Amino acid sequence: MRLFFYGTLRDPDVRRLVFGGRADGLIARPALLLGFRTCSAPFGQFPVLMRRTGARARGELVEGLGYGDLLRLFHFEGPDYLPSNHLAIDDQRRRLSAWVLLPEGAQPASAGTWRLRQWQLYRKPRVMPRLQVWMREYERFQDHSVEITWPARRQLKVWRGSGELAE
């Protein structure tokens, strides 16, 4: 199971909040997602991937996620995000298939490019307390989180049956 993270999940503190102790066991390496550009959401706190021919979005390929990790990931992203398979280039210049969580509909975006380092310096201190509260909500409901939509649950079932997930 290979996912592409393009936004705040590239930050180690965010990753620890979302995946708990399992975050340190995940394998992450730099990569580019083909056909997308990373823009800022209008309010600037989060990235938005916009399709653009010839573009490449910076991010990380992450492997080692299990079923429980994906439940937490779907809760973190919210009900509007669904998995979609796309082509990425890893740090060895190999073209690999990777799953990306993308919004179901069109997302508004600013013209500016979203940058992780800027987010870490200026937005992260305000976002982290809210993220802690949000992930505590997951702890209360676990896999019954209302943020995990039926389409997402169906994809999880397919992944679980395929043997792609880490245990």
pLDDT tens, residue by residue, 84-127: 999 999 999 999 999 999 888 777 787 788 999 999 999 999 99
Q: pLDDT digits over 15-53, tens only?
A: 999 999 999 999 999 999 999 999 988 876 789 999 999
State how far the Cα of 119 lies from the Cα of 132, in Å rounded to an integer.
17
Residue 144 reports pLDDT greater than 70: no
Angle in degrees, CA 34, 37, 43, rounded to 5 = 150
State how far the Cα of 156 lies from the Cα of 36, in Å rounded to an integer.
24
**SS3 state of residue 154:** helix
Global pTM reads: 0.89
Question: For 1-10, 12-21, 133-142, which range has the lowest pLDDT when averaged over its residues?
Answer: 133-142
Structure tokens belonging to residue 141 = 């409901």
Angle in degrees, CA 76, 80, 82, rounded to 5 = 80
Q: Which domains does the chain have, with CATH numbers?
A: 2-162 (3.10.490.10)
Per-residue DSSP letters for 12-40? Answer: HHHHHHHHGGGGGG-EEEEEEEEEEEEEE
State how far the Cα of 28 lies from the Cα of 16, in Å rounded to an integer.
13
- pLDDT computed for residue 145 by the predictor: 63
